């Protein structure tokens, strides 16, 4: 088999996988829209500003309501104690 044919078949396989993932993403988005509408009703009824993402540490709950110095209250070079601390990227400078 010629290398160009193998490369073409490989590209076709990647395009098929990409198309399948795209269709799956579209179907999941419809389900997430319904969930988002339910969450808006819950937060409005309970009078919450945001739903908590995690409850294990106060600086991992939500970036909009967390204290910017909370991760450094123990020690700036300390190892992360909670796994959800890896959810948030550092702020852009």
Which residues, 6+ apart, have CB-to-CB distance to 70 below 8 Å?
A: 57, 58, 59
pLDDT of residue 6: 95
Rounded to whole angstroms, the Cα distance separating 43 from 35 reads 12
Rounded to whole angstroms, the Cα distance separating 23 from 75 reads 46
Q: What is the pTM of this model?
A: 0.42
pLDDT of residue 69: 62
Is the backbone of residue 30 left (phi > 0), alpha (psi -120 to 50) or beta? alpha
Residuewise pLDDT in 10s, the chain (93 residues): 899 999 999 999 999 999 999 999 998 888 888 888 888 887 788 777 665 555 555 555 556 665 666 655 666 566 666 666 666 666 677
Beta carbons of 3 and 9 less than 8 angstroms apart: no
DSSP label at residue 90: P
């Amino acid at each position: 088999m010629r290398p160009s044919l193998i490369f073409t078949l490989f590209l076709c396989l990647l395009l098929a996988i990409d198309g399948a993932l795209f269709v799956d993403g579209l179907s999941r988005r419809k389900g997430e829209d319904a969930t988002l509408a339910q969450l808006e009703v819950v937060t409005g009824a309970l009078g919450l500003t945001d739903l908590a993402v995690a409850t294990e540490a106060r600086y991992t709950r939500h970036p909009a309501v967390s204290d910017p110095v909370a991760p450094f209250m123990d020690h700036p070079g300390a190892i992360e104690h909670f796994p959800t601390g890896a959810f948030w990227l550092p702020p852009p400078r």
